[in-house]
Amino acid sequence: MKLPFRSTLTTLLLLAAPALSLFGQDGITAGEYAYEPPAGENWDDWSDVNTEAWDSFVSFDAERCFGTWEDQGFALNLDYESENVIWGTKTAQETFLPEFVWLGPLFGGEGYTSVKGIIPLQSGATQQMFIYGGWRYNLTPKFDIDIGGNIVLATNQNYGPGIPTPWGSGWSDRGTVYLGIIGDFFMHPSVYFDYDFMLDQKNVLLGIQQDWDLHEELGLPEGLELDFQARFGWLSANAWLGNGRTPTGNQWRNGYVYATTQLDLIYHITEALSTSVGVRYAWNNDGSGPVGPGGIDMGPESMVWFGAGIGYEF
């Protein structure tokens, strides 16, 4: 079962958007790989609950649980960002982000796995690899759930989202679990909660996402699509350095709110090949300049930059 290219590649490109999605917590509803009961079969009222996850599990039917090989989807993405921003904080200048993605049926929902690299061109900046996986599910006719987690491996000893500490003490690996609820209606409002074990960090993320087919809306050439995303987050970390310590031997506790927005023009060249280009904005109230422990430069509180990408499905 192959997805229509508009839903498949748009989703994959959105998965790769580093400014907004927290590498899985992207506010995307369950796609065509997820089972949705036919209309009229207890799937009309907002309170109707999809039982396929349990039904497929107890069926002991491997094809019903995992699909066949033909049901699996794969993609390669390559993105470029003039700045790399995570949790509303700038981590590096110009950055390339290659990614491999798998999508497929999984116990009535849509399973996904990704291996994504963050490769800054800036000398000394931290390189990171995100390995994440999760499961999206049509829980009710109006709401989907997204459950997953990730493992992050990094060069250097870092603080927060992956910025090197000047004194060589910080984290080099961490892991997160998350749970999200996504509205399957206009603007797709979402709320996510995630917990980072290494940073002892709680993060609450509110978001909206909507795309428009510009051929249908404005009569522009077929294949053009406009995508808008916005996120507002609050995080609180008891160990911003992970296992590391400040020069005075203390742990660094940190918390702030942040917001990010993104507007992308996407062009579906073929059913398998898609490109995008767009502008991004981020803001945080974490302070700017050398106000962190040991005089760490906390970077700017607001940022405007651009990004572009290409995705191929096979």
pLDDT at 21 over 50: no
Place of tokens 């995307």: 28
Q: Which amino acid is at 164?
A: P
Q: Return d(Cα 204, Cα 247) in angstroms, integer.
A: 30
Assign residue 10 the CATH number of its domain: 2.40.160.40
- The residue ranges of DSSP E strands in the chain, in sequence order, are 73-81, 84-86, 89-92, 95-106, 109-120, 128-138, 143-159, 163-164, 171-183, 190-196, 201-213, 224-237, 254-268, 273-284, 302-313
pTM strictly above 0.75: yes
Overall domain count for the chain: 1
For the chain, what percent of residues have pLDDT higher than 90? 74
What pLDDT sits at residue 26?
Answer: 66
Task: Find, among 97, 89, 99, the residue nearest to 132 by Cα.
Answer: 99
Q: What is the per-residue DSSP string for 56-124?
A: HHHHT-HHHHH--GGG-EEEEEEEEESSEEETTEEEESSEEEEEEEEEEEETTEEEEEEEEEEEESSTT
User: 179: pLDDT confidence band, cut at 50, 70 and 90?
Assistant: very high
Section 232-260 average pLDDT: 94
What would you report as the CA-atom Rg of the chain, rounded to the nearest whole angstrom? 20
CA dihedral sign, ordered 81, 311, 228, 44? negative
Per residue in 165-177, pLDDT (tens digit) is: 988 899 999 999 9
Range of the domain at 277: 5-313
